[in-house]
A and B are shown apart, each in its own frame.
Chain A
Amino acid sequence: MEALTNLINGMSLGSVYAIIALGYTMVYGIAKMLNFAHGDVIMVGAYICFCSVSYLGLPALAGVALSVVGCTLLGIIVERLAYKPLRNAPSLNVLITAIGVSYFLQNAALIIMGSDPKSFSSIISLPALNLFDGKLTISATAVLTIFACVVIMVALTMFTGKTKMGKAMRACSEDRDAAQLMGINVNSTISMVFAIGSGLAAIAGVLMCLAYPTLMPTTGSMPGIKAFTAAVLGGIGSIPGAALGGVLLGIIEIFARAYISTQLADAVVFGVLIVILLIRPAGLLGKPVNEKV
């Protein structure tokens, strides 16, 4: 039963990683940039939710909605101001700008909210579920997180597959110039991707803080790195890959923590990543690209 509990916890953590990784992978697919500020959007989302519930007295769901709206706007604004001028710049310049945005968000949060950790459990806390006469305890948070991840995945797959905007996104990530020639507005498509990614990050932020209820300005950076790892593990640019990579990473992390060593859990996660990339250099579901002369 312990293994089953660990598996469910791992899937729940992995679902959070998967939702964050979706943002990374979509942005990478379309803008070919590593958005290192993505992890900090999670933190902003969690803070917005925290503030609207504890200071404004809104119900929890309204807080979540507000944080999704806030992060979506943040994503669009950041893209317009910091990334759009660099559309044709070398990719490293964009990377450094993203790091600058990450520092900015962290320090802005530090100034506004202070460095003391905020306890998220004081605003939203879900009960634990007892199954099989108390032999198996699952937190409702875990169930909610896995459910949210599945819903988001299905919705996103349908969105990119069926809608006009989704097709435009795929076209832009395939070949931006050709998409432009076909009359697709590349700039607004990229804005849309940032908006979706940041909105998802807000949801991930709230879900993560339900499971690990300490909120600090640096809360987002480590999950951000892990989710980036998950996106690469699954094959960066691929949406199912991000989901698979995220869930796998979460399960590996929880099991390593439970059965190997708490201190070495991260090392095990990164070790698995290295081994998988050596066997499949483009990630699990990524397509290997052969360079031609």
Chain B
Amino acid sequence: MGIKLLKPQTRSTIITYAIVIGAFLAVTVLDGVGLISNSLSGQLVPICAYVSLAVSLNLVVGVSGELSLGHAGFMSVGAFTGVVVAGCLARMGVENELLLFAGSAIVGAGAAGIIGFLVGIPVMRLRGDYLAIVTLAFGEIIKNLLNILYVGVDDAGLHFSMTDSASLGMTKGTILINGPKGAVGIDKISTFVLGILLVLITVAVVLNLMHSRDGRAIMAVRDNRIAAESVGINTTKYRLMAFTVASALAGAAGVLYAMNYSTIVPSQFDFNQSILILVYVVLGGMGNISGSIISAAFLTVLPEVLRPINNYRMLLYAIVLILVMVVPHTKIYQRIAEAVRSRFSKDGGAASQSAPAETGGEAHE
């Protein structure tokens, strides 16, 4: 019962880390016993990438309260930058996979962060649905620009072109990014352990930011912009901070995602991808980090589990999505929930005393 003595904030932080580490241990043990199917073990790295993406998007949507529909754009900036960096490092003779991955992830995150900052400056002038449509627009623009980007590397260094691969002017180089065909011949160096590490780093960054002075300022702006402004908080600065950090984290997740496949194409990172990540965040609960982790993992696995009913699985996915959103608002559900709640409070009078503190903790998180 020691955990109940802790502050609600500390408790939820511990629970969040415990979920990630527990999941990692469980998967490792199950894998050792041979209970993880092939299709599922292929999903482990994407799950980690989507968990990181969901947690980082939660920083924008949940913590900062801005609807962003272009998260996949920052993911793709990270992914393609990472591929280029890995290609250069490999050419320079770096063979250590950990070093390769760390180098591409850091540069990828940096590039996505810079793009996020630049995009954020105009975006943060807008509010609400107008902000949402502009993030969507930037996401589509990034996708379009990547579609005509050609990058190659040879002994002379990097070559860029916006027309075709022939105009790169290389004789004995490798093409790293080939326009609409995307990045080809990627070293598949992402592993589940690296994925879990990235998730832990993402969670640590987001939670520390949330619990810092800056994080409280970000949440104050979300809860009441005018009140926050009147106590001297620079609203644009804090919204931009959340947006930039989230973009950088999305970039790192993009690197993880890209390094799991031998080929990635720009059209993968479209509006639907952004929406997919947003669904994880809303389903997990706005501003709730452990919720994002669980819902991202669950919803990435769900289509795999439904694979036996191949044709109908996305249909079922859609129905699950609608029901999860609609059912809690139906009268029948509310009546049942009310009945269950009153039953529990009748059973133990002592238990109800600690209940307010618990609900207080959840509301805070």
Contacts and interface: CB of A to CB of B under 8 A. Distances in A.
Contact of A274 (B134, B275, B325): B134
B133 A273 contact: yes
B322 A97 contact: yes
Contacts of B325: 86, 89, 93-94, 96-97, 100
A: interface residue count bin = 35 or more
B148 A263 contact: yes
Contacts of B330: 85
B133 A232 contact: yes
A181 B140 CA distance: 44
Contact of B318 (A36, A81, A89, A107): A107
Interface string A84-117: 0110111011111101111110111011000000
Given A85-B330, A96-B325, A277-B130, A263 B147 contact: yes
Contacts of A15: none
B318 A270 contact: no
A111 B329 contact: no
Interface in A248-291: 261, 263-264, 266-267, 270-271, 273-274, 277-278, 281-283, 291
Contacts of A28: 129
Contact of A93 (B67, B129, B282): B282
B141 A267 contact: yes
Contacts of A283: 130
Top-6 shortest CB links A-B: A100-B321, A270-B137, A103-B318, A104-B318, A267-B144, A100-B322
29 contacts: A82-B322, A85-B326, A85-B330, A92-B282, A92-B286, A93-B329, A94-B325, A95-B282, A96-B282, A100-B318, A102-B318, A104-B315, A104-B319, A104-B322, A110-B314, A221-B272, A225-B140, A229-B137, A264-B145, A266-B141, A266-B144, A267-B141, A270-B137, A270-B141, A271-B137, A277-B130, A281-B126, A282-B130, A293-B227
A20 interface: no
B168 to A, nearest CB: 17
B138 interface: yes
Interface of A: 28, 34, 36, 81-82, 85-86, 88-90, 92-97, 99-104, 106-108, 110-111, 221, 225, 228-229, 232, 236, 261, 263-264, 266-267, 270-271, 273-274, 277-278, 281-283, 291, 293
A266 B267 CA distance: 13
Interface of B: 61, 67, 122, 125-127, 129-130, 132-134, 136-138, 140-141, 144-145, 147-148, 180, 225-227, 271-272, 275, 278-279, 282-283, 286, 311-312, 314-315, 317-319, 321-322, 325-326, 329-330
Contacts of B282: 92-93, 95-96
Given A99-B275, A221-B271, 8 more contacts: A90-B286, A92-B61, A97-B321, A99-B321, A221-B272, A261-B148, A267-B140, A293-B226
Contacts of A107: 314-315, 318
A273 B134 contact: yes
